[in-house]
Structure 1
Amino acid sequence: MSKERAGLLLWLAGVNLFISAFTFGGGYVVVPMIRKYFVERRNLFTEEELMEMAAGAQSAPGAIAVNLSALAGYRAAGRCGLAVSAIAAVTPPVVILTLISFYYSAFIANAAAAAALRGMQAAAAALIADFVIDLSRSVIRERSPLLTLMMPAVFIAGFFLKIGAGTILAACALTALLRIAGRAGRAAV
């Protein structure tokens, strides 16, 4: 293995350990961090590729954060990058949950721990809001009336009509497939 490849794998391990250890709130919180380190700092792939990976990570079984870290690792360094990234992404939560389970009764009664968890919720909300704004910008750049109208429709369906996320996701996927099929049909004519 070359020094450059070994250095990239070591970097993948470190950055994924860091991202996993310091991001709370799920997969959508990980996206801005992966953008920062993989796209902006290292130029390992583009913003569009990141959005494609995020969509794939969301639709695959398992935790979005781990799936996205694994996909980013694969895009950066192939199978070894996938393995290193996935292991690094699951290590901090496993260690943290193991420690918490051993000291659960002391942890749950600790006011400082409860305050820290509330602070993490606020930080996670801010990162998710940042991701939604960036994702909205990329959808608007597509200049597709259908995709632009889909954003408020999804919000209304979920927030006001209380339609489940799975149903909304299935409806959006079907809409996108019909859009693609329509374009393919027009291109064939």
Structure 2
Amino acid sequence: MNETKDLKFYLKLFSSTFTLSAFTFGGGYVIIPLMRKKFVEQYGWIEEEEMLDLTAIAQSSPGAMAVNAAILIGYRLAGVPGALLTVLATVLPPLITLTVISCFYTAFRDSRAVSAVMKGMQAGVAAVIADVVVTMTQAVARERSVMGWLILFGAFFASTLLDVNIVLIIFCCGVLGAARTLWQRRRKGRA
């Protein structure tokens, strides 16, 4: 998408990102599959494999994953103006929500209805995270890569059975993924 963008494109990018951020609860693991559905499936602005790459970069970068993903997607679609626009659209809804909540904090704190809604959201967030795991596993399966499966299962076992610090797991997976990509590029260069 290197062509010049018009105002209609920027408005669509802003409104899509703003809406996703406003109606998504649970952080980056929840908003990423929704971004994928919007920007890959619905609009066709980004390819599936590229979205997986952007997700991996967003996860391994410091900061909030939803903001990182928004910056990367915005930059990919429209350069620096797109990145600025999508990061603004991503942070505005939580900022507005937190401002309103802080004004009425004592009323919210003791409300049984708010507590019940939060409990219900936990179940929804768990379902969306499960969807992310299934989607990413399907992508690895389509790739038919032994290294991809080794990284996937190695990270799973290291985090669940060996109780290895997640930062170390992310770092190791990043190094292995980078080495795999370099190896594949060199192999393609020789062919």
TM-score (norm 1): 0.89
Aligned pair in 2 of structure 1 residues 49, 114: CA closer, same or farther (>3 Å)? same
Amino acid at match of 1:155: F
Question: How far has the Cα of 1:60 moved from its partner?
Answer: 2.0
* Cα distance in 1 between the residues matched to 2:38 and 2:123: 22
CA contact (8 A) 1:23 1:124 kept: no
* Cα distance in 2 between the residues matched to 1:178 and 1:169: 14
Partner in structure 2 of residue 80 of structure 1: 81
Q: How many pairs align?
A: 186
Q: Report matched runs for 1:110-149 at 5 Å.
A: 110-149=111-150
* Cα distance in 1 between the residues matched to 2:182 and 2:69: 27
Partner in structure 1 of residue 157 of structure 2: 156
Q: Report matched runs for 1:32-43 at 5 Å.
A: 32-43=33-44
Amino acid at match of 1:170: F
CA contact (8 A) 2:5 2:78 kept: no
Aligned pair in 2 of structure 1 residues 144, 82: CA closer, same or farther (>3 Å)? same
1:9-34 Cα shifts (integer Å, max 9, x gaps): 11111111111011111112111111
Partner in structure 2 of residue 101 of structure 1: 102
* Cα distance in 1 between the residues matched to 2:139 and 2:19: 27
- Cα RMSD, aligned residues only: 2.1
* Cα distance in 1 between the residues matched to 2:184 and 2:11: 43
Amino acid at match of 2:138: R
Question: How far has the Cα of 1:132 moved from its partner?
Answer: 0.9
Q: Report matched runs for 1:161-176 at 5 Å.
A: 161-176=162-177
Question: How far has the Cα of 1:182 moved from its partner?
Answer: 5.0
Partner in structure 2 of residue 19 of structure 1: 20
* Cα distance in 1 between the residues matched to 2:95 and 2:45: 28
CA contact (8 A) 2:17 2:86 kept: yes
Question: How far has the Cα of 1:160 moved from its partner?
Answer: 2.2
1:122-141 Cα shifts (integer Å, max 9, x gaps): 11111111111110111122
Q: What are the ranges of 5 or more consecutive residues in structure 2 without an aligned counterpart?
A: none
- Whether 1:64 aligns to 2:65 is yes
